[in-house]
Chain A
């Protein structure tokens, strides 16, 4: 019965071929450092899932943002766990993505034909940092308020357009309800969609080119 169902699906979807090409593809001999890309992907999925569940209780308004997080932490069953995973997962993701990048650099894996994989990866690192920046404001506590004040002030340093960048980021001159709302929208919709698209391209290129061999000493 399951056999038949599988064959029916396989005939239409080529599940077997997908498995061979995605999971049984040949790999060069590697070390644990080669697993950091997968670790980044796992962390991204974890952040996506815990973020979705946080959205069930979080509200992005200056009146209630802080209280809603207090509610998640103290009153909702396992709220501390979901928020804790999202909080620490965010930090861990920045660290893991960065070490992944260092590994690719130090093993020269970014060279031909993988330059685009590298460029997209560099963008992924930047978007990960942007996720961290926008997510940091959402608890709306003293630390996040002042950290965002400083970060947007730093964004205002370029000559001529700096002031404009600051106003765009804050949605006005001061940090306000508008800032919280636009950071929230960026954090839960805009950046995740960019991340998903870039991750898709990144994974496609990795599967297309395969993983690189470690360079030999004379190369």
Chain B
């Protein structure tokens, strides 16, 4: 082959085969990359406001248990995840409240309020938290988690902000 003068039929076929093959590879390859990384591109937590009911039914200075569940959809599967915690009204002021998660900060067991001791006790490793959620004894590395964002709607219902797992 001397320059562009003799571009034989055979060379033309080679170049065409290569070009069409390359085009098909790119046309298929690009969507396949998108197809494979798709779940990573869409992953992200969804937040929502959870209604915990009327605030005036909750006694002062007594932890009131609440639970709610969130359904997460992963592909074709739905999973319900349960959450729970305690609402503690410190005074008559409806905004003077503390909302604690009942999930022990040690290894994730559920703590219960034990009235006689005035403590939240975790049954798994005998951890104890006070009314403020501070660690009194046991292995937990930090106080109970709090739901810091809450609000009251016009009917006096308490809502907390769930930020996603």
Contact = CB atoms under 8 A, between A and B. Distances in A.
Interface string B73-109: 0011100000000000000000000000000000000
B73 to A, nearest CB: 10
B75 A68 contact: yes
Given A78-B34, A81-B31, A82-B35, A57 B75 contact: yes
A24 to B, nearest CB: 9
Contacts of B28: 49
Contacts of B36: 53, 56
A53 B36 CA distance: 8
Interface stretch (A25-33, A69-77, A91-99, A111-119): A69-77
Contact of B38 (A49, A68, A70, A77): A77
A67 interface: yes
Contacts of A37: none
Given A76-B38, A77-B41, A82 B75 contact: no
Contact of A82 (B32, B39, B41, B77): B32
Contacts of B38: 75-77, 79
A181 interface: no
Nearest to A54: B35
A71 B76 contact: yes
Main secondary structure on B side of the interface with A: helix
A64 interface: yes
Contacts of A70: 76
B26 to A, nearest CB: 14
Interface residues of B, number: 12
Nearest to B75: A71
Contact of B35 (A59, A64, A68, A79): A79
A82 B31 contact: yes
A78 B32 contact: yes
B35 A77 contact: yes
A63 to B, nearest CB: 9
Nearest to A24: B10
Nearest to B74: A71
Given A53-B32, A78-B35, A59 B41 contact: no
A76 B76 CA distance: 11
Nearest to B17: A23
Nearest to B39: A76
B35 A76 contact: yes
Contacts of A49: 28
Contacts of B35: 53, 56, 76-79, 81-82
Contacts of A57: 75
Contacts of A75: 38, 75
Interface string A144-158: 000000000000000
B125 to A, nearest CB: 37
Contacts of B39: 76
Contacts of B34: 77-78
Contacts of A53: 32, 35-36
B13 to A, nearest CB: 11
11 contacts: A53-B36, A75-B38, A76-B35, A77-B31, A77-B38, A78-B34, A79-B35, A81-B31, A81-B35, A82-B31, A82-B32
Interface of B: 28, 31-32, 34-36, 38-39, 41, 75-77
Counting from the closest, the 10 A-B pairs by CB-CB distance are A67-B76, A78-B31, A77-B34, A77-B38, A68-B76, A71-B76, A78-B35, A76-B38, A71-B75, A78-B34
Given A67-B77, A71-B75, A77-B41, 4 more contacts: A59-B76, A67-B76, A75-B38, A78-B34
